[in-house]
Structure formats: structure tokens, C-alpha cells
């Protein structure tokens, strides 16, 4: 049995290279009025492989190999250009006043629970 370990590694590497790009996740750069928007991603990759062979006196010779890979891709924002100006627009995270307004329902719920436990005699 011939192990073609290098071929397996090459195929896995080529697949990961073809999939790890912004077009796969969020699309190509686009125009929006006077602005040009370029998607930006965060990419994490892991790769592992191993192989071996052995001989046992009564059972003969054996070989084995394996490889695996994992990839996580997340859109994190856009580079936005207008003329000579460029900025980064973060996706999925709010800050400032918008973040405070998102927390209001949770605060109201906690306040209501506190009031209910205070008014119930023990």
C-alpha cells in the first residue's frame, strides 16, 4: 500500500486557499453612491496530520496516515473609501449610545424582577 501523503496535504491546502477569501463570505467590493466598500474578514485555520507504519512478527506489516483541517471565517467590517479618505466600518458590534439602547430591555427586566421580589412577603 503506497501512501500518497503529500498529495492529500496538497489537496487540503488548495481547498482551504480557494475558500478563505472575502468573496466566499460576504461578496466582492461594491460601489454605494460616492463610496467604495471592500469587505474585510477574520480568518482562523487549523491543520493536523500524521502517519506511521509498523511490523508485527505474526501479523505482518501495516501503514496508516490521516490529515484534517478546519477553518473559521467571519465578516468583521468594511473598508470604506470616498475620494482620498478611507475608514473602517465595523460590522456586528455597536458602541456608544446605540449599545446603551440595546441594553435597556434587559435593565427593565432586571428592575421588574427586583421590584417583584421586594413586594412578595417571605
Query: How confident is the chain (122 residues) per 10-residue block, as mean pLDDT?
Result: 71 80 72 86 83 82 82 84 88 61 66 66 56
DSSP β-ladder status, 30-32 and 85-90: unpaired
- Grid coordinates belonging to 100: 446603551
What pLDDT sits at residue 99?
57
- Is this prediction's pTM over 0.95? no
What pLDDT sits at residue 63?
83
- Grid coordinates belonging to 39: 469587505
What pLDDT sits at residue 13?
80
Distance CA 21, CA 19 (A): 6
Domain boundaries along the sequence of the chain: 5-93
Q: Of 90, 109, 52, 45, give the one whose Cα is nearest residue 71.
A: 45
What pLDDT sits at residue 11?
83
Q: What angle do CA 12, 15, 20 make, to 5 degrees?
A: 120
What pLDDT sits at residue 74?
82
What pLDDT sits at residue 96?
54
Amino acid at each position: 500500500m503506497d501512501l500518497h501523503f503529500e498529495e492529500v496535504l496538497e489537496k487540503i491546502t488548495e481547498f482551504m486557499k480557494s475558500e478563505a477569501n472575502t468573496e466566499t463570505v460576504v461578496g466582492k467590493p461594491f460601489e454605494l453612491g460616492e463610496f467604495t466598500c471592500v469587505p474585510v474578514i477574520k480568518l482562523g485555520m487549523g491543520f493536523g496530520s500524521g502517519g506511521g507504519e509498523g511490523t508485527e512478527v505474526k501479523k505482518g506489516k501495516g501503514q496508516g496516515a490521516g490529515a484534517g483541517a478546519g477553518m473559521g471565517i467571519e465578516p468583521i467590517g468594511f473598508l470604506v473609501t470616498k475620494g482620498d479618505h478611507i475608514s473602517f466600518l465595523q460590522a456586528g458590534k455597536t458602541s456608544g449610545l446605540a449599545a446603551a439602547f440595546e441594553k435597556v430591555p434587559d435593565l427593565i427586566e432586571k428592575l421588574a424582577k427586583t421590584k417583584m421580589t421586594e413586594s412578595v412577603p417571605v
